[in-house]
Amino acid sequence: MKKILVLTWLLVFVLGISVAFAEIKNPDTYVYLHIGEPDTLDPGYAYDNASGEVLTYIYENLISYDGVNLQKFIPILATEIPTVENGLIQDNGTTYRFPIREGVKFHNGNDFTPEDVEYTFERNILFDPANGPQWMIIEALFDSQTLDELVADKIGTPLTEMVDENGNLINPDDAAKLIEFYQQVIDPVIEVQDNSVVFHLVRPFAPFLYILPKHAYWSNILDKETCVEWGCWDGNADGWWKHYNVKKESSPIYDKANGTGPFKFTEWDRTQQKVTLDRFDGYWGEKAKIAQIIDWGIDEWGTRRAMLEAGDADQIYMPAQYLDQVKDLKDLKIESGKRITVTAFHFNWTVDKTSDFLGSGVLDGNGIPADFFSDIHCRRAFSYAFDYDTMIQEVLLGYGERPPSVIPSGMLGYNADLPKFEFDLAKAEEEFKKAWDGKVWENGFKLTLLYNTGNDARQTACEMFKENIESLNPKFKIDVQGVQWPNYLDAYKSGKLPAFVIGWIADYPDPHNFIFTYFHSNGVYGGPQGEAYIKFAQENLNPIIEAAISETDATKRQAMYEEIQKIAYENVLGLTFYQEIALFPMRTWVQGWEFNPIQSGEANYNGIYKAE
Amino acid sequence: MIVLRRGIVFPSGVEGLMVLIFYIIRRVLFIPITLFGISLIVFSMIGMLSPYQRLATFISSPDRLKSENVDQLISMYGLDDPIPIQYGRWFKNLLQGNLGWSYVGKAPVLQALLQRFPYTLELTLFSAIPIILIGTWMGVLSALHHNRTLDHSLRIFAVVGWSFPDFVFGLFILMIFYSTLGLFPPGNLSLWAESIVKSTSFRSFTGMTTIDALLNGRLDVFVNALRHLVGPVLTLTYVQLAYILRITRSSMLDVLQRDYVRTARAKGLDERVVINKHAKRNAMIPVATVSGQTIVGLMAGTVIVEAIFNRTGLGSFLALAAQQLDYASIMGGVLFFGLILIIGNLLVDISYAYIDPRVRLD
């Protein structure tokens, strides 16, 4: 036995001693560690950062932002940026023409043509997967949110009532209607004219260009020939519905990719959550400096940190709370940049009566009524009872700032001088005394605030509310509960949360993307604020939000978005906690890295290389 | 010799073998019934959750709450159908060899399980060897030095390991041996070794990198794979060996009190012979049983270690599936582990019956 032990330790020693620290590990490979893995490689379906990280470098778009300047575009697969001045935007902002670049090859050697652009957008619109990103394109081109809605509008019956889950027609006679729908509605909207692609919008849509650039992976340009060969929609009117809303994994390009980008797809190792991209030597533009990229999902923070420290990773994803663990490590540097994202707290004006979080359901000190937050004084009291600066210090270690409303800084509509609530417990007390004709102060209340476990921002926010509000009146009770994500999702979607903390990462850097989401009655976060809120929004906010999106004059739009934010402030529609400044720990040997303010694409892989 | 339930003793040989085969067939026939029962229970438990809760499979984090038509997902995947209908749908697919799609594994469930199983098996086997060897060695030493300093020291050492949360010890190992000393990296292989393993010239026989590397004659890859195994194996060994140590120690102490050991000593046999031949051999019977269970238990109990050392095995996969309520993966995983546990326990029972003739194959 002793011999075995000695041999074991000898083996351990021999295995270990063979290691020596290299100057730069894997000098021609860039290893980026983050959380998770791509949801899919189909740009028509992808709607998550991990997918975007990869797709952004395999595929290309018609245009790109000019570096970190999100207000300026440069052409990529197009050769010019459409403007009114150069005549490429016409018809009062409803026609956009993109001259297409020649001499571009896809990774498999196919030529890139204007037909590929037309095919890409039409294919994605007809695909329109549930929970996918195509609503942006459909909204821009058709003033509708989904293909289902568009079909219902044009034909009179929703598409979901015409096709079954396998894409077969429930009534075969509907084929003619759907063929005609494609020919009359979809096909004419995107046209190839000579060497250009022309988009015809049903009405002016101010942020149209913003939904097209690099990093907007839903606008990645596909290779028609390859897609058809792999089993995607064949480009014909007949039978297009078979490709509508197919399940994610059933998409022929779920795990395949053929783009024109500087890196070609090599492997997606789903067991290891690892994607490998290799430099595309036939790239039309300046070739990437690094030969290989490994985009690797390692969910455990300690492992990511250890691999960065050992030099096996070049850059890692790091939530701000871990900054102290890496800031003093040798041979590491930390880059930072302000992201186009906000985290906010919103109220549910009409909580579902079956909610478990209402306690007794009346103002007797043991619960709240379902419409507790429909009283503006309650909302205002909560707004004064939150210590915004401490939140930024505690959760983000100071790496954040507080916009007045949900429009982040650096974007049209932002104005730092707009009014916002400040932490003031005396005013909070005053408002609580006015709430519900004094019953809140007199009887007290018990409210449950939920957060999904593992989300430190939400937990801290809920606990800060608890501490501050309970200090005002011994009859005030706030119960903070951490629940698993599925339970949180359930409570949120079924309207059972009395209030919720929720963030939004920009799909595109236009105020509409934030304002509509949080404040419009049909916005993703509008609905969960309850029936009373929806009614309020329909009367007071929807008209101006819808007018702002059609307005092409930037000055007028600025004024309109400021007006919306003032309405939000006056009616206390929510509290914006912070806009995060993201931190990017990386090895000092990483050169050419540039901050990218818009998701996705944590690194500028094109220009990156490794050198001491 | 094998003893039947009624105490009728069959001599080993053909008849004994027949009894054994009959016993195995009977146990094997029970496997589908057991698995069916397990699947019903687990599916019913998942079915008690609301469709919105189960939507977490498709919307894995708040960042994904973006699009408005998430309700369409519920009807698309039939999450609001009655549970018997959902179970029937799943069972019908199962009979066709289709366990469904794993949203966590991003592959068909069976493929996801089979891809990860070799990683877990490899880690289990490499960990089981030191756990059993060191555990029994320490247990024997401890018993032989009963209530003396060595006994106390070994027990304290083992109990500390047993009570250490494995994520703490794992991170400790990772920081010391990898971050600081650069010795034993996490993951399965270094990038260069992985490129060899994934090349067309490298044949996969077992899916276990160490064994495949040897079979392909790639000693460099074998050494690299071993280096990646040291951290998790060390962690599991230290955390798990206390159990084997305790069983060995108490079993050894029990045996050392027995008459036949006293007799052997009275006969004037060399102490080494008494210990090794008379005491240790008999003391190993319960240890063998426990060791078998430990190996089977390790398969399912490597979640944290797999996560820390970035070894993408079954444990971490199923933990994530449970978190996201990916019911296809959960059901597939439960059946897979159920099968392994049943077969593992059957093997343990059979081997135990052989080791200890007093055991009846009921």
The CATH number for A466's domain is: 3.10.105.10
- Tally the residues of chain B: 362
CA distance A405 to A458: 18
Identify which of A224, A351, A311, A383 has the alpha carbon closest to the alpha carbon of residue A585: A311
Name residue, tokens 């050169």: A591
Distance from CA of A298 to the nearest CA of B (A): 7
Average pLDDT on A245-269 reads 95
Q: Is residue A355 part of a domain?
A: yes
Most confident of A300-314, B257-271, B297-311: A300-314
pLDDT by residue (tens digit) across A271-305?
Answer: 999 999 999 999 999 999 999 999 999 988 999 99
CA distance B327 to B133: 39
Mean pLDDT, rounded, of chain B: 85
Q: Among A225, A250, A275, which residue terminates a domain?
A: A250
Is this complex scored with an ipTM above 0.90? no
Domain residues for the domain of A423 are 341-580
Q: What is the pLDDT of residue B9?
A: 46
CA distance B179 to A303: 10
CA distance B44 to B327: 11
pLDDT at residue A463 tops 90: yes
Mean pLDDT, rounded, of chain A: 91
Q: What is the pLDDT of residue B286?
A: 82
Residue A531 sits at the chain B interface (C-beta within 8 Å): no
Q: Which of residues 234-253 of A touch B (CB under 8 A)?
A: 245, 247, 249
Average pLDDT on B62-72 reads 66
Higher pLDDT, A7 or A436: A436
Q: Is residue A51 part of a domain?
A: no
CA distance B209 to A304: 23
Q: Among A218, A250, A282, which residue terminates a domain?
A: A250
CB under 8 Å to B13, separation ≥6 — which residues?
A: none
Residue A203 sits at the chain B interface (C-beta within 8 Å): no
Substitution target in A6, A135, A271 with the highest count of B β-carbons within 10 Å is A271
- Do the Cβ atoms of A558 and A376 come closer than 8 Å? no
Q: What is residue A169's three-state secondary structure?
A: strand
Residues from chain B contacting residue A255 (CB–CB below 8 Å): 106
Q: What is the pLDDT of residue B3?
A: 45
Range with the lowest mean pLDDT among A111-125, B186-200, B312-326? B312-326
Q: Can you give the CATH number for the domain in which A118 is found?
A: 3.90.76.10
Residues from chain B contacting residue A272 (CB–CB below 8 Å): 187-188, 310, 312
Band (A255; pLDDT cuts 50, 70, 90): very high
Q: What is the pLDDT of residue B5?
A: 41
State the total domains in chain A.
Answer: 3
Identify which of A247, A485, A486 has the alpha carbon closest to the alpha carbon of residue B100: A247
Is A360 found in the same domain as A214? no
Band (A12; pLDDT cuts 50, 70, 90): low
Range with the lowest mean pLDDT among A1-5, A272-276, B194-198? A1-5
Q: Is residue A53 part of a domain?
A: no
Is A595 found in the same domain as A560? no
Identify which of A387, A393, A383, A338 has the alpha carbon closest to the alpha carbon of residue A505: A338
Is A223 found in the same domain as A270? no
Subunit contact A29:B191, Cβ cutoff 8 A? yes
Q: Shortest CB distance from B56 goes to which of A255, A305, A489? A: A489
Upper half-sphere CA count for residue A177 (Cβ side, 13 Å) = 16
Average pLDDT on A171-184 reads 96
Name residue, tokens 């058709």: A142
Residues from chain A contacting residue B67 (CB–CB below 8 Å): 47, 130-133, 135, 524
Q: B12: cis peptide before it, omega within 30°?
A: no
CA distance A587 to A610: 9
Q: What is the pLDDT of residue B356?
A: 64
pLDDT by residue (tens digit) across A318-358?
Answer: 988 899 999 888 899 999 988 889 999 999 999 998 898 99
CB under 8 Å to B195, separation ≥6 — which residues?
A: none
Q: Is residue A484 part of a domain?
A: yes
Q: Is residue A56 part of a domain?
A: no
Phi, psi of A98 (to 5 degrees): -120, 105
Distance from CA of A316 to the nearest CA of B (A): 15
- Do the Cβ atoms of B161 and B239 come closer than 8 Å? yes
Band (A10; pLDDT cuts 50, 70, 90): low
Is A244 found in the same domain as A297? no
CA distance A352 to A361: 11
CA distance A288 to A186: 37
Nearest CA in chain B to A599: B63
Residues from chain A contacting residue B307 (CB–CB below 8 Å): 299-300, 303
Please give the share of chain A, as a percent, with pLDDT higher than 70: 96
Residue A286 sits at the chain B interface (C-beta within 8 Å): no
User: The tokens of A444 are what?
Assistant: 């007290």
Percentages helix, strand, coil for chain A, rounded to the nearest 5?
Answer: 40, 20, 45
Q: Is residue A145 part of a domain?
A: yes
CB under 8 Å to A270, separation ≥6 — which residues?
A: A37, A255, B105, B106, B107, B112, B115
- Do the Cβ atoms of A347 and A419 come closer than 8 Å? no
Distance from CA of B59 to the nearest CA of A (A): 8
Average pLDDT on B318-344 reads 86
Is A358 found in the same domain as A305? no
Task: Provide the CA B49 distance to its chain's centre, in angstroms.
Answer: 29
CB under 8 Å to B64, separation ≥6 — which residues?
A: A47, A48, A131
pLDDT at residue B129 tops 80: yes
Most confident of A378-387, A597-606, B344-353: A378-387
Amino acid letter, residue B253: L
Is A529 found in the same domain as A431? yes
Subunit contact B53:A298, Cβ cutoff 8 A? no
Residues from chain B contacting residue A150 (CB–CB below 8 Å): none
Strands (E), chain B: 2-3, 9-10, 101-102, 107-108
CB under 8 Å to B259, separation ≥6 — which residues?
A: none
pLDDT at residue A14 tops 90: no
Q: Is residue A62 part of a domain?
A: no
CA distance B134 to B326: 39
Substitution target in B49, B68, B188 with the highest count of A β-carbons within 10 Å is B68
Is A266 found in the same domain as A207? no
CA distance B124 to B132: 12
Is A383 found in the same domain as A296? no
Range with the lowest mean pLDDT among A87-96, A481-490, B168-177? A481-490
CB under 8 Å to B11, separation ≥6 — which residues?
A: B1
CA distance A42 to A55: 8
Distance from CA of B70 to the nearest CA of A (A): 6
pLDDT at residue B279 tops 70: yes
pLDDT at residue A601 tops 80: no
Subunit contact A524:B65, Cβ cutoff 8 A? yes
Task: Provide the CA A314 distance to its chain's centre, in angstroms.
Answer: 25
Is A178 found in the same domain as A190? yes
- Alpha carbon separation from A581 to A170, A297, B123 (Å, rounded): 51, 22, 40
Is A311 found in the same domain as A231? no
Distance from CA of A248 to the nearest CA of B (A): 10
Q: Can you give the CATH number for the domain in which A285 is found?
A: 3.40.190.10
Q: Among A250, A273, A296, which residue terminates a domain?
A: A250
Q: Is residue A159 part of a domain?
A: yes
Q: What is the pLDDT of residue A282?
A: 96
Q: What is the pLDDT of residue B142?
A: 93
- Tally the residues of chain A: 612
pLDDT at residue A195 tops 70: yes
Q: What is the 3-state secondary structure (H, E, C) of A443-509?
A: HCEEEEEEEECCCHHHHHHHHHHHHHHHCCCCCEEEEEEEECHHHHHHHHHCCCCCEEEEEEECCCC
CB under 8 Å to B228, separation ≥6 — which residues?
A: B184, B185, B186, B187, B188, B189, B190, B309, B311
Q: What is the pLDDT of residue A596?
A: 82
Quickly count: other Cβ atoms within 10 Å of residue A434's Cβ: 16
Residues from chain A contacting residue B303 (CB–CB below 8 Å): none
CA distance B32 to B342: 10
CA distance B359 to B362: 9
Is A181 found in the same domain as A146? yes
Amino acid letter, residue B123: L
pLDDT by residue (tens digit) across B215-232?
Answer: 999 999 999 999 999 999
Average pLDDT on B78-82 reads 87
User: The tokens of B324 are what?
Assistant: 């996201």
Substitution target in B179, B306, B324 with the highest count of A β-carbons within 10 Å is B179
Residue A170 sits at the chain B interface (C-beta within 8 Å): no
Average pLDDT on B99-124 reads 91
Band (B12; pLDDT cuts 50, 70, 90): low
Nearest CA in chain B to A267: B198
Is A593 found in the same domain as A567? no
Q: What is the pLDDT of residue B37?
A: 92
Q: What is the pLDDT of residue A454?
A: 73
Nearest CA in chain A to B51: A490
Q: What is the pLDDT of residue B6?
A: 39
Task: Provide the CA B163 distance to its chain's centre, in angstroms.
Answer: 20
Residue A352 sits at the chain B interface (C-beta within 8 Å): no
Range with the lowest mean pLDDT among A155-159, A265-269, A273-277, B7-11? B7-11
Write the Ramachandran bin of A546: left for phi over 0, alpha for psi from -120 to 50, otherwise beta: alpha
Name residue, tokens 């016409």: A90
- Do the Cβ atoms of B70 and A135 come closer than 8 Å? no
Q: Between A and B, how many CB-CB pairs are < 8 A?
A: 167
Q: Which of residues 24-53 of A touch B (CB under 8 A)?
A: 26, 29, 31, 36-37, 39, 47-49
Subunit contact A486:B324, Cβ cutoff 8 A? yes
- Alpha carbon separation from A449 to A105, A348, A372 (Å, rounded): 54, 12, 13
Residue ranges of the alpha helices (H) in B145-177? 149-163, 166-173
CA distance B335 to A412: 55
